[in-house]
Amino acid sequence: MTDARDTGLTLNPKYDAHGLITAVVTDVASGDVLMVAHMNAQALALTVETGLAHFWSRSRQSLWKKGETSGHMLEVRDLRIDCDQDAVWVKAVPAGPTCHTGARSCFFRRVGADGLMAVDAAD
């Protein structure tokens, strides 16, 4: 059964018990997944208002403007919310590496039968 949240055009995020929704970030040019993070209401509002990705850091328990210290900000080009409004998709232009390790994407390892292996940047 669907309701207005599922099919309507009113933004009404369905935050979890911790006040968060999942945010998947992709590179607008390549479509590559860059990172997965979480947003609270303030982070989502700031992202919409500024055009720069903001998140909620669960480890630091604080608002986080991506790239604020590194300069590797994420310029939002498209922001979408899923059907039941509990996850957002951020299509962005990265100003540098997205991962805190310095990798272009947080998804720089492949899981295989023999364990983890590095992914070539061209993969």
pLDDT at 123: 61
Q: What are the structure tokens assigned to 89, written together?
A: 């998709």
What Cα–Cα distance (Å) separates residue 40 from each residue in 49, 57, 116? Answer: 14, 10, 32
Quickly state the pLDDT bin for 8 (edges 50, 70, 90): confident
Whether residue 67 contacts residue 96, with contact meaning beta carbons closer than 8 Å, is answered with: yes
- For the segment 44-48, the average pLDDT, to the nearest whole number, is 98
What's the sign of the alpha-carbon dihedral 67, 68, 70, 72?
Answer: positive
What Cα–Cα distance (Å) separates residue 25 from each residue in 14, 21, 60, 102, 117? Answer: 19, 13, 20, 16, 22
Instruction: Please tell me whether residue 64 adopts helix, strand or coil conformation.
Output: strand
Q: What single-letter amino acid sits at 88? A: V
pLDDT at 120: 75
Q: How many helices (H) and strands (E) would you count in the chain?
A: 2, 8
Q: Which residues are annotated as a binding site for Zn(2+)?
A: 83, 99, 106
pLDDT at 122: 59
pLDDT at 48: 98
Quickly state the pLDDT bin for 1 (edges 50, 70, 90): low
pLDDT in tens, 50-102: 999 999 999 999 999 999 999 999 999 999 999 999 999 999 999 999 999 99
Q: Which residues are annotated as a binding site?
A: 82-84, 86, 99, 106
Percent of the chain with pLDDT over 70: 96
Q: Which residues are annotated as a binding site for Mg(2+)?
A: 82, 84, 86
User: Which CATH number is associated with domain 4-98?
Assistant: 3.10.20.810
pLDDT at 121: 62
Q: Residue ranges of the domains in the chain?
A: 4-98
Q: SS3 sequence, 25-62? A: EEECCCCCEEEEEEECHHHHHHHHHHCECEEEECCCCE
Looking at every residue in the chain, the average pLDDT score rounds to 94
